[in-house]
């Protein structure tokens, strides 16, 4: 598995597994558990979840899936902004740890920003880190001005990633956030990399895929993976999707492919507000 180096020096898989909409009531838990285990077997050992996903159901399902295999995975979870204050953070983290069946979260993210001062969240994250409950922390859905502000807060520059919406159809971050993160050496963790399956039916990507014996979804992932400092976290339950996603690591898009993608999905020419799904 290709890796991406975090600012702390630790290397994590460039391709992980997303788990939004997994662990829901009425979902097929056994299929989801199998998907998580298959992802680990295929090398997608970075697993992304959040306390929000199925209100803890995703974390719980992952806990079952990784029982006995905790040391093989790099667990990413996220805290609701309304829990990210001084008093609630340790309680929310403890609940996540319990559901995940572990004593530590590898990377704990602020899911998005509300009115709470970032300084308070950073202080709470640093405390959790000192206690060994989380190994690293980061943020999600923060725009460039938020990142600037974060860099002025104690503990802010220890942020390991910003997890944002990024795929060929959602390129707004390329205007200023991506360059800002590059300058500060903070990797992007790209969520919804196949645009929640919408790109699987895209004609331009399908035509490019034909030249690589690949599907449109694989081309979308290869596009996300083309940059050495991006971590990409598609969600997939179907075994064929999991296998195709790992195979996307081997697709090398040519200059012609990239130009066709730019034509169909033009890069931003001006600042756009950060999009969220």
Ligand X SMILES: NC(=O)c1ccc[n+]([C@@H]2O[C@H](COP(=O)([O-])OP(=O)(O)OC[C@H]3O[C@@H](n4cnc5c(N)ncnc54)[C@H](OP(=O)(O)O)[C@@H]3O)[C@@H](O)[C@H]2O)c1
Q: Build a one-symbol-per-residue string for 124-153: x at contacts with ligand X by CB under 6 A, - elsewhere.
A: ----------------xx------------
**Can you tell me which of 13, 38, 48, 125 binds ligand X, judged by CB under 6 A?**
48
By the 8 A CB rule, do 212 and 251 touch?
yes
**What is the rounded distance in angstroms from the CA atom of residue 164 to the CA atom of residue 192?**
9
- Shortest gap between Cβ of 71 and ligand X (angstroms)? 21
254 half-sphere exposure, CB direction, 13 A CA radius: 6
By the 8 A CB rule, do 219 and 251 touch?
yes
Is residue 53 annotated as a catalytic residue, yes or no?
Answer: yes
**Can you tell me which of 121, 235, 251, 265 binds ligand X, judged by CB under 6 A?**
235
**Residue whose C-beta lies closest to ligand X:** 18
State which residue, 154 or 276, has the beta carbon closest to ligand X.
276
- Shortest gap between Cβ of 165 and ligand X (angstroms)? 7
Q: Write the CB contacts of 197 (distance below 8 Å, at least 6 apart in sequence).
A: 217
**What is the rounded distance in angstroms from the CA atom of residue 109 to the CA atom of residue 146?**
14
Collapsing DSSP to helix, strand or coil, 223 comes out as helix
Q: In this chain, which stretch among 97-105, 127-135, 142-150, 240-248 interacts with ligand X, using CB under 6 A?
A: 240-248
**Can you tell me which of 150, 205, 219, 236 binds ligand X, judged by CB under 6 A?**
236
Please tell me whether residue 265 binds ligand X under the rule CB under 6 A.
no
| Cα 171–Cα 218–Cα 245 angle in degrees, nearest 5 | 110
- Shortest gap between Cβ of 59 and ligand X (angstroms)? 11
**Can you tell me which of 51, 176, 195, 257 binds ligand X, judged by CB under 6 A?**
195
**What is the rounded distance in angstroms from the CA atom of residue 19 to the CA atom of residue 86?**
27
**What is the rounded distance in angstroms from the CA atom of residue 43 to the CA atom of residue 38?**
9
Q: In this chain, which stretch among 94-102, 113-121, 122-130, 233-241 interacts with ligand X, using CB under 6 A?
A: 233-241
Please tell me whether residue 200 binds ligand X under the rule CB under 6 A.
yes
The torsion angles phi and psi of 234, rounded to 5 degrees, stand at: -65, 145
Please tell me whether residue 193 binds ligand X under the rule CB under 6 A.
yes
By the 8 A CB rule, do 137 and 157 touch?
no
Of 172, 141, 182, the C-alpha closest to 265 is 172
State which residue, 156 or 209, has the beta carbon closest to ligand X.
209
User: Which spans of this chain sit near ligand X (rule: CB under 6 A)?
Assistant: 18-20, 48, 111, 140-141, 163, 191-197, 200, 215, 217-218, 233-238, 241, 244-245, 276-277
- The catalytic residues are 53
């Amino acid at each position: 598995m290709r890796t991406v180096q975090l600012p702390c020096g630790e290397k994590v898989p460039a391709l992980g597994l997303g788990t939004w909409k997994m662990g829901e009531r009425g979902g097929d838990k056994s299929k989801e558990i199998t998907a998580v285990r298959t992802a680990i077997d295929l090398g997608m050992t970075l697993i992304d979840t959040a306390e929000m996903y199925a209100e803890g159901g995703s974390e719980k399902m992952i806990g079952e899936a990784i029982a006995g295999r905790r040391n093989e995975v790099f667990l990413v979870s996220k805290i609701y902004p309304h829990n990210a204050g001084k008093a609630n953070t340790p309680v929310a983290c403890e609940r996540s740890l319990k559901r995940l069946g572990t004593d530590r979260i590898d990377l704990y993210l602020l899911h998005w920003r509300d009115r709470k001062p970032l300084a308070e969240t950073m202080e709470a994250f640093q405390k959790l880190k000192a206690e060994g409950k989380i190994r690293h922390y980061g943020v999600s859905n923060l725009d460039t001005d938020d990142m600037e502000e974060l860099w002025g807060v104690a503990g802010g520059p220890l942020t390991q990633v910003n997890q944002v919406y990024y795929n060929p159809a959602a390129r707004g971050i390329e205007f200023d956030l991506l360059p800002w993160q590059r300058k500060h050496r903070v990797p992007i963790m790209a969520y919804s990399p196949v645009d929640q399956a919408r790109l699987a039916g895209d004609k331009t990507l399908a035509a490019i895929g034909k030249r690589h014996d690949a599907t449109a979804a694989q081309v979308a992932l290869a596009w996300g993976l083309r940059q050495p400092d991006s971590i990409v976290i598609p969600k997939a339950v179907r075994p064929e999707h999991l296998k195709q996603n790992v195979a996307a690591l081997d697709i090398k898009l040519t200059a012609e492919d990239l130009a066709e993608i730019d034509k169909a999905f033009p890069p931003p020419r001006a600042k756009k507000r950060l999009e969220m799904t």
